[in-house]
Amino acid sequence: MQLYAGIDLHSTSNHLGVINDNDRRIFRKKLVNDPVVILEALEPFHQHLKGVVVESTFNWYWLVDALMDQGYQLHLANPSAIRKYEGLKHSDDKHDAFWLAHLLRLGILPEGYIYPKAQRPVRDLLRKRGHLVRLRTSLILSLQGIIQRNTGLRVNVNQVKKVTTDEVLPLLAGQEDLEFSGRVSKESIDFLSCKIRQIENSVQKKVKLKQAFKYLPSICGVGKILSLTIMLETGPIKRFARVGNYVSYCRKVPTQWTSVGKRKGKGNKKNGNRYLAWAFSEAAEFARRYDPDARGYFNRKASRTNRMVAHSALAHKLARAAYFVMRDMVPFDAAKLFAK
């Protein structure tokens, strides 16, 4: 007899459901989020369990690690992809657990990648860097707005980063509240810049590009940190059978459903890796600014559409290029990518 288990995981509790190979429900229980409690509940079925499905929620690490350490065959369900079956899926949590097990039994479970435990901390550290970069960008834009609204002066991003607090305050002199706002903004920007550099230095000391990823820095717009981000977020490139699979995972293709050649609505934009989406968007911006071939492609595309579409198209091209650079372990070829 073969058994299949599904765990619908929440922030403080979870629902465990076990079915047999005839789809008969043989166990159901709500449990607290304690690995000891969950392992005790699963132990009577361990010998016959073909697999355990855990939904890929924000807090799955601890549970998946605990079950894998005890020898369970783990499957990480991709909840975004499961939405395609929502006409069949029950909204009740205890039924969701059985539904996960049911999908596994039928062999149609949309699965996510279980990233190796040892590599997760440094990957998450780079994710924290990305978070700080976005916070810094919002503060820079805020300070730019304060200065321009009140003085008429326009300062670019690099100028905001380079000037000192003492250079900013005279621009807002005589206006106590504006001076205070400017000081807080500039000091916060400098603090975040310091922490971003610390993270970058720490990551570069701990992680080097693996052989399959060594040519990533040859791609226009992709530096050392973006190369490490792409490597750590991608994982083994062989898990993507085609370039289209990879670009879709990077969220660089339109999402829509079609039937008999007719559009049936938009797909789920959250399907895929948002950190890779960000990485290739950053790469596209750097490439547009500093690489003549990329800038030429961007300008041609923008002249026919608009700048937003052109930016997305450039990011899409860079993601495709990265796939072949990683898969074939070859340097980036700008002439081939941007051929007119």
pLDDT (0 to 100) of residue 269:
63
| Strand-pair partners of 256 | 266
The mean of the pLDDT values for the chain is 89
The Cα–Cα gap between 306 and 303 comes to 7
- pLDDT, residue 262, reads 52
31-62 pLDDT tens trace: 999 999 999 999 999 999 999 999 998 999 99
How far apart CA 314 and CA 291 sit, in angstroms, is: 12
Looking at the predicted structure, is the pLDDT value of residue 91 above 90? Answer: no
Distance of CA 142 to the CA centre of its chain: 26
Give the three-class secondary structure for 7.
strand
Return the percentage of the chain with pLDDT > 90, whole number.
72
Task: Give strand ranges (E) for 187-261.
Answer: 256-259
For residues 241-257, average pLDDT: 86
Structure tokens at 134: 């976005």
Q: What residues contact 271, with CB distance under 8 A and at least 6 apart?
A: 78, 80, 81, 248, 251, 255
- Residue 94's pLDDT band, with cuts at 50, 70 and 90, is low
Please report, for the chain, the start and end positions of each structural domain, with discontinuous segments joined by +.
Answer: 3-114, 119-207, 212-337
Closest residue by Cα to residue 169 from 155, 182, 159: 182
**pLDDT given at position 255:** 60
End-to-end CA distance of the chain: 60
Q: Which residues contact 13 (CB under 8 A, 6 or more apart)?
A: 30, 31, 32, 33
Q: How far apart are CA 136 and CA 150, in angstroms?
A: 21
Percent of the chain with pLDDT over 70: 91
Query: What pLDDT digit, counting tens, does each position of 285-322 carry?
Result: 999 999 999 999 999 999 999 999 999 999 999 999 99
Look up residue 207 and give its two tokens: 């992680």
Of 150, 191, 156, 192, residue with least CA distance to 169:
150
CATH number for the region 3-114 comes to: 3.30.420.10
pLDDT score for 268? 54
Q: What is the pTM of this model?
A: 0.84
